[in-house]
Amino acid sequence: MTMSTSALRLSVILPLLVLAAACDKEKEVDPPAQLVEFQPKVRVDRVWSVGVGGGEKTLRLGLRPAIDGERLYVASHDGDVMALDAGKGRVLWRKSTKVAFGGGPGVGGGRVVAGSTDGTVVALSADDGSELWRVEIGGEVLAAPAVSEDVVAVRSVDGRLRGLDAKDGRELWLLEQTVPRLSLRGTAPPVIAGDLVICGFDNGKVVAVGRTDGDVAWEAAVAPSRGRTELERLVDIDSQVRVVGTDVFVVGFQGRAAMLALDSGQIWWARDESSDRGLAVGDDALYVSAANGDVKALRKRDGAPLWDQPVLHRRALSAPVVDGNTLVVADYEGYVHWLDIATGEVVARERAGDSRVTNAPVVAGDTVYVMTDNGTLAAYRRGESLVAAAPAREAAPTTDTPTPAPPATETPAETPPETPAQTPPETPPEPEPETPPETPPAETPLQG
């Protein structure tokens, strides 16, 4: 009998973690920041909540809800896929596939697609949940597929990005990137932007390929690997790139945050940042959930730091999402935090459930959807500001006021090979619970 993939990974990971702990036993590790009572400045109401099943507290899976019009789609680790009324939380249909989903769902072209931890990709009808096709790709899927009318792009942990025919799941093309011997558990979800499929990889590269043929359009080394040990050389890009207009924004673990040109991959700016969860992009800034639990704002046009909020330090945050004039992140105890988008101050807090929230919340209109790792799905809606009625906040050991950002220290941009010179963007850069929480699971699980 062959050892399972998970067991094999565990046998590789545990000795590494023990060795790392032995090497660092003299170092003092910061505990997760304690949450303190505060007077909310924005009212947040829970609109509805429902259990979707398949809860797993110990797995870091890429099971994030997907919104399409008035419907919300979710997949669970026990193989169920559900469509819900996004406004009321009412279940419209539920399909049992009997596969252990690890990434998804992705929605598009009337299809709902999810991938499993054993390499099965299943496509269902978005209308009624009937199965359209299923295929085996031979690699664990921990990220949502990207779905268009004609192509389904699927990323697996073996460094492969596949384009499948949306009609029947037949493989159209395959791209393979080198996977380091040691990497974080997780993969970046691919993104379809027009005729391109764009995805980050464990080797610190972002690659764009043709949607229909898989031909490489460009490749950018966002975070070159450096260091003496394999731990120091980790530069995984495990979060989804964000495409805004003609620009691509990306951040990696122990790497850099960067802005790239969509048509060529040329790096307009880059600065050292570390995040395994990802970033969100607003009108004038991008927001990063850093690997240490701090939340940071960077100026969009040149990466200059705007503010740094340490109040959620080491709380194993999800990636942030923009909700109007607030930024929303969730943590390892199931708390959801709303931050003022201009200053980083925490203005509201709710608890979605009693387990970790690994995946970023989803925003649609005026509603925020949050799914915990044990299968609780909750919808929230912001109300009016409470500033006028709020009494003065009492001093607390942990402040919700962010520290001023240090001066920008940009890393010189790198241009991918054979990329023609381009004119930079038009706007030139300006000169810039009640009880103490338990230690969370390892914030950046490793896989070998």
The pLDDT, as a whole number, for residue 321 is: 98
Residue 1 has a pLDDT of 38
How high is the pLDDT of residue 394?
Answer: 45
Mean pLDDT of the chain: 85
Find all residues with CB under 8 Å of 42, minimum gap 6, and list them. Answer: 326, 338, 347, 348, 382, 383, 384, 385, 386
Q: Could you tell me the pTM of the whole model?
A: 0.83
* 101 phi and psi angles, rounded to 5 deg: -70, 140
- Judge whether residue 398 has pLDDT over 90: no
Q: Is the pLDDT of residue 42 over 60?
A: yes
Q: Which of these, 84, 89, 146, 48, lies nearest to 75 by C-alpha position?
A: 84
Percent of the chain with pLDDT over 70: 79
Contact 262, 390 (CB under 8 A): no
Query: Is pLDDT of 374 > 60?
Result: yes
Asked whether residue 418 carries a pLDDT value surpassing 70, the answer given is no
Average pLDDT over residues 23-35: 72
Rounded to an integer, the average pLDDT of 86-95 is: 97
Question: Hey, which residues does 10 pair with through a beta bridge?
Answer: none
pLDDT at 388: 65
CB distance 177 to 223 below 8 Å:
no
Whether residue 424 is predicted with pLDDT greater than 70 in this model: the reply is no
Domains of the chain: 32-418 (2.130.10.10)
Name residue 266's amino acid.
Q
| Pairing status of strand 62-63 against strand 101-108 | parallel
Predicted local distance difference test score (pLDDT) of residue 184: 86
> Which of 35-44, 373-382, 417-426 is predicted least confidently?
417-426
Q: Residue 7: what pLDDT?
A: 40
Residue 304: pLDDT band (50, 70, 90) is: very high
Task: Report residue 232's pLDDT band, with 50, 70 and 90 as the boundaries.
Answer: confident
Percent of the chain whose predicted confidence (pLDDT) is above 90: 72
pLDDT of residue 225: 83
Q: How far apart are CA 44 and CA 388, in angstroms?
A: 16
Query: Model confidence over 52-87: pLDDT tens digits?
Result: 886 555 567 999 999 999 999 999 999 999 999 999
Residue 247: CB partners within 8 Å, gap ≥ 6?
259, 260, 261, 262, 268, 425
Other CB atoms within a 10 A radius of the CB of residue 175 amount to 20
Query: What is the distance between the alpha carbons of residues 111 and 435, in angstroms, rounded to a whole number?
Result: 44
Q: Average the pLDDT over each of 214-228, 265-279, 326-340, 400-414 and give the range with the smallest value.
A: 400-414
Residue 268 is inside which H or E element, if any? strand 267-273
The predicted-structure confidence for 187-226, as pLDDT tens digits, reads as follows 999 999 999 999 999 999 999 999 999 999 999 999 888 8
State residue 440's pLDDT score.
56
pLDDT > 80? residue 120: yes
